[in-house]
Structure 1
Amino acid sequence: MDESDRAPRVRGEAGWQRPSFLELFFDLVFVFAFNQVSLRLINDFGTGNRLQIDEVGRALVLFLALWMLWLSTAFSTSRGRPESTPGQVMVFMAMAGATVMAVAVAKGFEGRAFVFAGAYVAARVSRFLLAVRLRQAEHAPVWGWFSVGLSAVPWVLGGLVDDRLSRGVLWVVALALDYGGFALTHRRTVGAPIAGEHLAERLQQFLLIALGEAIFLSGRALTNSSFGIPQGAGFGLAFVGIALLWRIYFYRAGSVLPLAISRARERTRESVAVAGSHLLMIVGIVLSGVGFDLYIVGPLTQPRPDFLVAILGGPALVLAGRALFERQVFSRISRSRLVGLLALGLLVPAAWYVPPLAAGGAVVVVLAAIAVWDGWRARGRAPEPPVPPI
């Protein structure tokens, strides 16, 4: 037995640690998973004359399953000690499940549906069993753990049926059970030990993975393009857009997230709340990365209104999530977030009639204006301390 096994397997209330190397290794699987989801979306946008909204919905269902697996594992490692032998086994089993799920994403609603669902269910159930071993289950309501087994039924049935509509309905029901059970489990365990600062850093790392995927997609798009001036301009806009998304997130709520969680009266509920806003921002970043690809590959093509789902919709989701996140950290929302959302909405009618590159350029201008506004508002003022509402 090594030293990590002799140490307590549940963190103390003040037992914050930086994420372990194993957790960072676990995140590498989701670099691949992000890429597979993004490529599926790019393929959906690139086929036909218009985007089928159900295709975006299917990609979202697959992504939400991957996110739930990552998030539930992150919460477990923030409660327990991933360096212990049971903790390592739990992370590696989740890692194996996520890898199989990522491999199946490209045809996750088609020929590999059962593989995707089976890997997800196996990873979730095994995590529950190991949580019992780590003595974490004693903090959770019965319904929270019951939902893990209950949701397995529609997941497996959805993987077996042939009709994609029926599969989608079953999997949406399964996700509702999973997310409802997760929220109930953690929102009602206020006194359970959780290293909120550790979880904050894990959420930030996952968001950075999403930004990294946007960089990868932009570089891939330029490499596969004709490499002309319009394509280069599109790549430049994409790079500036990614940098602005990073700036808008970390200034200033993102930089004080660990402190905000530590100051919250109900740290577990605050952790669940910020996980929700991060999900919204991460989905927006993934969609933004698809938009970057679209206007790098075809910067001057005929306007396609469906492209606006990615080019305008992605940044809009990021701003909406960032506004919610700011409310969770500072108990207020800056006007720049709301004005930015309004500006993106006002761009929609004009963007229907201009090339993708022009629409992307307009979005970058809006993001730059928000970043400048933030800097101007904070000029000469002391850094604002976090004041979480819960």
Structure 2
Amino acid sequence: MADQRGEELLRGKATSPRATFLELFFDVAFVFALTRVSNRLVDDFTVERRVFLPEAGQTLLLLLALWMVWSLTTWTTSRYNPERPEIQLVVAGSMFASMVMAVSLPEAFDTRGLSFAIGYVAVQVGRPLFLTVAMRHHPERHVAGRILVWAVVSAVPWIAGALVHNDARGVFWTVAVIIDYGAARLGWPLPGRGRSPASSWPVTGEHLAERYQQFTIIALGEMILISGFGFSMSEFAAAQWVAFAITFASTALLWRIYFYRAGTVLVEAVAGSARPGRLAESATYTHLVMVAGIVAAAVGYELVIGHPGGHTDPAWLTVIIGGPALFVLGRARFEYEVFGRVSRSRLVGLVVLVAMVPLVIRLPPLAVGAATTAVLGGIAAADALRARGRPPEQPAPPI
């Protein structure tokens, strides 16, 4: 009976590969969470008496924690039937914990470290614990069990870090993130039981591909949100109107570059892959890079809208130019995952973005933002020219 109940919790062939409305509802929490990340990063660049690199490193740690929660929840709904009440409870609980993390995020390295850590540990430990109990004597319970063991291990530095202050918290949480990502990358190994990498799981690849597409839209939506808030609070000067226009253009270009054409055929690529789990696992890290690039770009253009004229702080170039460059780098790898090749326009655009840093450092932020947008426009135009008169390219994943 227990085996039958466990089998019912797993996705079957009759289960739709499409994301459920509850999963889309779960994503709403991350619209808010990414906005909190962006706002914190803006403060890292603008608040006086802050040292940029440590502050930006802290924000990166928090983003990595959020991504771990989202990606493992997504893999859970790709392996288990999201239409079952038990799995819906897991998703709802993960959403609440994500909201706790999001509201704590701006002060996570100050007064709200414990609430952030508790939210993270609760979902990372609670999810596999619930699944281990729910699967009971089913063979698949061992996968949730090994994830539970490593979640408990990483919970120690997460909670310990929340109980200390200043640089010590960053050290503990860095160790915790390394444990979480290292364990996932190695397949949550256990003595005498080997590994169980996510790439070997019998997941619904089409579902994972669709979820990555949806999260990319969330990140782009956050870019629109933060630029809209920034512009609405500005003086509506002519330069700020121009900054807002190029910000919108850059958002549209990032959307175009992602979806044309690898992002559009990702579902088909995963479905047609000999090892869909391995391709989906690789795409997890690739999308993390692209999402980080979009978040950084959103912060960069927010700075351009708020301070279009005057001198460009050299640190600002890490987001105004570095954000789009990071996205293009991730997008180049994404193209290889889907088609087994990388377009020359991606490489040229990346080289141009890096090479123009010393050339624009004396220009005002508005000019730097415009130059970055022009490079993105060049990449999108090259894509359109390459595809003109040719049949749509079909995916050929090398993985």
TM-score range, shorter chain: over 0.9
Further displaced range: 48-57 or 70-79 = 48-57
Distance (whole Å) between structure 1 residues aligned to residue 116 and residue 242 of structure 2: 38
In the other structure, the counterpart of 2:154 is 151
CA offset at residue 12 of structure 1? Answer: 3.0
Between the two proteins, the alignment pairs up a number of residues equal to 385
CA root-mean-square deviation: 1.9
Q: Give the alignment's TM-score, normalised by structure 2.
A: 0.92
The question of 1:67 aligning with 2:76 is answered no
1:285-304 to 2 correspondence within 5 Å? 285-304=294-313
Distance (whole Å) between structure 2 residues aligned to residue 75 and residue 190 of structure 1: 11
Q: 2:169 aligns with which of 161, 167, 170?
A: 167
Distance (whole Å) between structure 2 residues aligned to residue 112 and residue 371 of structure 1: 42
**Deviation string for 1:117-153 (max 9, x for gaps)?**
1110011111001222156853638654421111011
1:88-107 to 2 correspondence within 5 Å? 88-107=88-107
In the other structure, the counterpart of 2:143 is 140
CA offset at residue 49 of structure 1? Answer: 7.9
In the other structure, the counterpart of 1:29 is 29
Distance (whole Å) between structure 2 residues aligned to residue 309 and residue 216 of structure 1: 21
Contact kept in structure 1, 2:118 and 2:159, CA below 8 Å: yes
In the other structure, the counterpart of 1:264 is 273
CA offset at residue 203 of structure 1? Answer: 1.0
Contact kept in structure 2, 1:300 and 1:356, CA below 8 Å: yes
The question of 1:368 aligning with 2:366 is answered no
Distance (whole Å) between structure 1 residues aligned to residue 85 and residue 50 of structure 2: 51
Contact kept in structure 1, 2:15 and 2:81, CA below 8 Å: no
In the other structure, the counterpart of 2:193 is none
CA offset at residue 192 of structure 1? Answer: 3.0
Q: 1:223 aligns with which of 232, 237, 255?
A: 232
Distance (whole Å) between structure 2 residues aligned to residue 141 and residue 66 of structure 1: 20
In the other structure, the counterpart of 2:116 is 116
One-letter amino acid of the counterpart of residue 21, structure 1: F
Decide whether aligned partners of structure 1 residues 51 and 288 sit closer, same or farther in structure 2, where only a CA change above 3 A counts: farther
In the other structure, the counterpart of 1:196 is 205
In the other structure, the counterpart of 2:181 is 179
Contact kept in structure 2, 1:16 and 1:196, CA below 8 Å: no
Distance (whole Å) between structure 1 residues aligned to residue 41 and residue 197 of structure 2: 36
The question of 1:327 aligning with 2:329 is answered no
Contact kept in structure 2, 1:65 and 1:175, CA below 8 Å: yes
Contact kept in structure 2, 1:139 and 1:189, CA below 8 Å: no
Decide whether aligned partners of structure 1 residues 358 and 178 sit closer, same or farther in structure 2, where only a CA change above 3 A counts: same
Contact kept in structure 2, 1:278 and 1:321, CA below 8 Å: yes
Distance (whole Å) between structure 2 residues aligned to residue 179 and residue 193 of structure 1: 21
Distance (whole Å) between structure 2 residues aligned to residue 194 and residue 172 of structure 1: 30
Distance (whole Å) between structure 1 residues aligned to residue 6 and residue 49 of structure 2: 61
Gaps of 5+ in 1: none
In the other structure, the counterpart of 1:234 is 243
Distance (whole Å) between structure 2 residues aligned to residue 329 and residue 360 of structure 1: 30
Contact kept in structure 1, 2:157 and 2:173, CA below 8 Å: yes
Distance (whole Å) between structure 1 residues aligned to residue 201 and residue 48 of structure 2: 51
Gaps of 5+ in 2: 189-195
